[in-house]
Structure 1
Amino acid sequence: MAQKLPPVAPAQYWFPAKTYGWGWGLPITWQGWLVFLAALVLFAGGAFLFPPQEMLVGYVAYEAVIVAALIVVCHLKGEPTRWRWGKK
């Protein structure tokens, strides 16, 4: 007799797709909020780690890495995105 597999749980997205335009909205799970707030703290901390008046290139590079990491997490854990013109 064939063994019955358990039902597959639907994907739990951390970031919903935006209603208008392309990209993701604010987080909808605690994991998403944790990632979002960590990115904000790291983003704000860049001004202390790399003072823009003294190390502008380092500051811009640091901020670009934080933004890129957040985009990667949104892409991996967010709802698939496409250009949207509102709810259908």
Structure 2
Amino acid sequence: MSKPWFRVKKYGYGAGLPYGWQGWTVIVLYAVAVTCVALSGTSEDHPWRYLAMVAPLTAIVVFVAWAKSDRPWRWRNGEED
């Protein structure tokens, strides 16, 4: 397996901070895309259009984080695997 892009959380469910430069790149591109959507004015005029544009971006980031995590996602209570 290649080097993971994200680490799983020690507490809770899902991924935490990015692990490699690829993960940070995904997060930065996501932040830029959401900022561009927000600055386009759709959030003020049509909040549902804003949601329709941001939801797929968020789904893509969640999928990439899930696929490129170092371990499977599950609920964690701080115990070591």
Do both proteins adopt the same fold according to a TM-score greater than 0.5, normalized to the shorter chain? yes
* Number of aligned residues: 79
Q: What's the TM-score, normalizing by structure 1?
A: 0.81
Query: 2:61 is matched with which residue?
Result: 70
Structure 2 unaligned runs (5+)? none
1:71 CA drift (Å) = 0.6
Secondary structure in 2 aligned to 1:64? helix
1:25 CA drift (Å) = 0.6
Residue 41 of structure 2 corresponds to residue 85 of structure 1: no
Q: 1:34 aligns with which of 16, 25, 31?
A: 25
Query: 2:12 is matched with which residue?
Result: 21
Q: What's the TM-score, normalizing by structure 2?
A: 0.87
Identity of aligned residues (%): 34
RMSD: 1.3
Structure 1 unaligned runs (5+)? 1-9
1-side partners of 2:75 and 2:44: how far apart?
Answer: 38
Report the structure number with the largest CA radius of gyration.
Answer: 1
2-side partners of 1:72 and 1:81: how far apart?
Answer: 12
